[in-house]
Amino acid sequence: MKIPKYDKFIIPTLKALKKLGGSGSIDEINEAVYLVAELSEEILEVQHDENGVQSEVDYRLAWARTYLKKYGVIENSSRGVWSLINNELDPETFNSDEIVKRVRELTYQSRKEKNTNIKNEAKEEVEESIDWKENLISTILQIEPSAFERLCQRILRESGFVQVEVTGKSGDGGIDGKGIVRMNGFLSFHVFFQSKRYKGSVGSGDVRDFRGAMQGRADKGLFITTSNFTREAIKEATRDGAPPIDLIDGDLLCDKLKELSLGVKTELIEEVSVNAEWFKRI
């Protein structure tokens, strides 16, 4: 298996955004690129590291988006939606080698102007979020399985679920707990959840087994893992005619823990600047 380098994903990313109507979430864009680049299941399942927070393909796609952003053809919002700056652009008119060359020139120029030995800015942007997530997943993998179940219980409670219980019954098809989520104070849904600390990709068989265990006993299922899900597992979770199962992979788990400030602390660095012109007016 030879995984394409990040620069080989630059044009497919533009094509994917065009197919999506000019914008999309990271998951939507990645899925579209898989099809555009005709990537095999074997390549998509290769992990970026042993913790399985992200696949190698998704890691390289992050690099591709960063280069396109620095080149000035795509942008991203605080809500995680990426979009084309000009929806009329033609991906066929772009050259990935030229994009890489231009971005490297801009990065070099920026470093030269600052006159510092800072790390490559593009590398910082891609790896900043990945580093803390890998550290977080590594920490979670070291706790006891029962502690991970309690962590999932806490996440659900903090997210608005009520009557959340950890069952952890052996031989119960992997059901680790249950809870109730209320919608607008009127509608309620009974949810079973499975928590799986795992380093490899979770396959469709795991999803089918979980669905079989919850069949007729809950309205929805929630599968939480420290790793990620194969494409077949994702398809199985949303299969027509079957009880829906929502999937929380390691990446989304990290984001949720950060959002809820559970074991993750975000520090804002204060930047102070002096307005010399103000003092001249005194």
Q: Does the pLDDT value for residue 220 go beyond 50?
A: yes
Residue 239 backbone dihedrals phi, psi, to 5 degrees: -65, 135
Q: Residue 125: pLDDT above 60? A: no
Instruction: Name the average pLDDT for the chain.
Output: 85
pLDDT beyond 60 at 124: no
- Residue 245 pLDDT class (50, 70, 90 cuts): very high
Q: What is the mean pLDDT of residues 122-144?
A: 74
Which residue bears the tokens 């007016």? 281
Per-residue model confidence (pLDDT) at position 57: 92
The answer on pLDDT for 127 being more than 60 is no
Buried b (16+ CB within 10 A) or exposed e, 94-116: bebeebbeebeeeeeeeeeeeee
In the chain, list all ranges with CATH 1.10.10.
6-135
More confident site: 124 or 132: 132
- What does the pLDDT average to over 6-15? 95
pLDDT digits (tens, 9 = 90+) for 187-206: 888 999 999 888 778 899 99
Task: Specify which of 32-36, 105-109, 131-135, 187-191 reaches the highest per-range mean pLDDT.
Answer: 32-36
Is the predicted pLDDT of residue 281 greater than 90, yes or no? no
Q: Which of 105-119, 129-143, 235-249 has the highest mean pLDDT?
A: 235-249
Provide, rounded to the nearest whole percent, the portion of the chain with pLDDT above 70.
Answer: 85
pLDDT at 65: 95
CATH 3.40.1350.10 domain locations along the chain: 145-260
**pTM assigned to the model:** 0.68
Q: Is the pLDDT of residue 215 over 50?
A: yes
Predicted confidence (pLDDT) at residue 168 exceeds the cutoff of 50: yes
Helices of type H across 77-182: 96-114, 121-140, 145-158
For domain 145-260, the question of CATH label 3.40.1350.10 is answered with yes
How would DSSP label each residue in 10-51? HHHHHHHHHHTTSEEEHHHHHHHHHHHTT--HHHHT-BSSTT
The model's confidence at residue 131, banded by pLDDT at 50, 70 and 90, is confident
pLDDT of 248-268, one tens digit each? 999 899 989 988 888 888 776
- Which is nearest to 262 in space by CA: 151, 163, 160? 151
Q: How many CA atoms lie within 13 A of 12 on its CB side?
A: 23
Considering the domain 6-135 in this protein, what is its CATH number?
A: 1.10.10
What pLDDT does residue 118 have? 44
